[in-house]
């Protein structure tokens, strides 16, 4: 029952207590890529809107997105998307109750990094080959 | 001395107050996005830098139009849930929190509807 000591309860250890590990970096990167991707989606949505409303607008949007600077942003967004996709699948397995063993979590983390890079390179290659 | 149980005393005090249905909704859109992202990104990668009429032709195709519309609906729901999770974690104070949540709802809705409108307009030949 709720007759509790409110003053000097022990705090659970927080982030700064632990030695940094790459699984922690992956965890925060999932969130950062998620927020960043909503900005990347603004660019893609703008591109689709110009495609719907007229050639003049499309020419400008397409030129911006295929410029060197726009291209770098798109490649960064693409990697962020592939990372978020792969790590999202890893999260879905956790949600279903699988893959919590330390070794498994480390290995799946490495697999996410590798897959996100391979998929990014593959799609950039498709894009350059196609146009 | 309170007669509330410990469980009752802390219920709803998390940063999000409540949100099981949102948590589940976020997972449903996540699962749907696994195939949708791939099906959406490949034609997009092929179309960037393409000729205006050719690219319109790609998105006028029923398959790409349906995938595109499904993608924009699902991704706008997913990003609304995701950004909401970040907002309730990091934005403190009721007024700021409510404003941020309203802005998030407007942002996701505008993005989703703009994407659906654009692809529908192209697909219906307007």
The domain that holds B97 is classified in CATH as: 1.20.1300.10
Domain count, chain B: 1
CA angle, B16 as apex, B15 and B19 as ends, to 5°? 150
Is this complex's ipTM strictly greater than 0.95?
Answer: no
The DSSP line for A33-55 is HHHHHHHHHHHHHHHHHHHHH-H
* CB contact (8 A) between residue B49 and residue A45: no
Residues of A within 8 A of B5 (CB-CB) are: 1-2
pLDDT, tens only, B27-67: 999 999 999 999 999 999 999 999 999 999 999 999 999 99
CATH of the domain at A28: 1.20.1300.10
* Closest CA–CA distance from residue B42 to any residue of chain A (Å): 7
Burial (0-12, 13-18, 19+ Cβ within 10 Å), B113: middle
Alpha-carbon distance of A122 to A120, in angstroms, equals 5
B120 neighbors B60 (Cβ within 8 angstroms)? no
Domain count, chain A: 1
Quote the domain boundaries for residue B59.
Answer: 18-123
> Which residue from B47, B86, B121 is facing A52, i.e. has the nearest CB?
B121
Does residue B12 sit within a domain? no
Does residue A14 sit within a domain? no
Residues of A within 8 A of B86 (CB-CB) are: 31, 34-35
Does residue A85 sit within a domain? yes
* Closest CA–CA distance from residue A83 to any residue of chain B (Å): 12
pLDDT, tens only, A9-65: 777 777 777 888 889 999 999 999 999 999 999 999 999 999 999 999 999 999 999
């Amino acid at each position: 029952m709720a007759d509790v000591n409110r003053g000097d309860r022990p705090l659970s250890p927080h982030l700064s207590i632990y030695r940094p590990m790459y699984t922690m970096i992956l965890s925060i990167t999932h969130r950062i890529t998620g927020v960043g991707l909503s900005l990347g989606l603004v660019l893609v949505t703008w591109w689709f809107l110009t495609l719907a409303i007229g050639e003049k607008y499309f020419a400008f949007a397409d030129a911006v997105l295929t410029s060197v600077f726009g291209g770098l942003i798109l490649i960064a967004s693409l990697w962020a998307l592939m990372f978020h996709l792969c790590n999202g699948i890893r999260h879905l397995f956790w949600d279903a109750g699988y893959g919590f063993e330390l070794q498994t979590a480390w290995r799946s983390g490495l697999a996410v990094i590798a897959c996100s890079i391979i998929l990014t390179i593959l799609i950039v290659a498709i894009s350059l080959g196609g146009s | 001395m309170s007669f509330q149980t410990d469980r009752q005393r802390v219920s709803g005090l998390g940063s999000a107050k409540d949100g099981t249905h949102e948590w589940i909704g976020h997972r449903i859109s996540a699962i749907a996005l696994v195939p949708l992202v791939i099906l959406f990104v490949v034609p997009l990668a092929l179309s960037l830098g393409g000729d205006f009429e050719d690219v319109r032709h790609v998105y006028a195709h029923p398959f790409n139009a349906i995938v595109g519309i499904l993608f924009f609906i699902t991704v706008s729901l997913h990003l609304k849930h995701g950004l909401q999770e970040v907002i309730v974690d990091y934005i403190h104070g009721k007024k700021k929190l409510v404003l941020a949540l309203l802005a998030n709802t407007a942002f996701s809705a505008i993005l989703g509807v703009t994407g659906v409108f654009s692809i529908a307009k192209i697909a219906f030949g307007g």
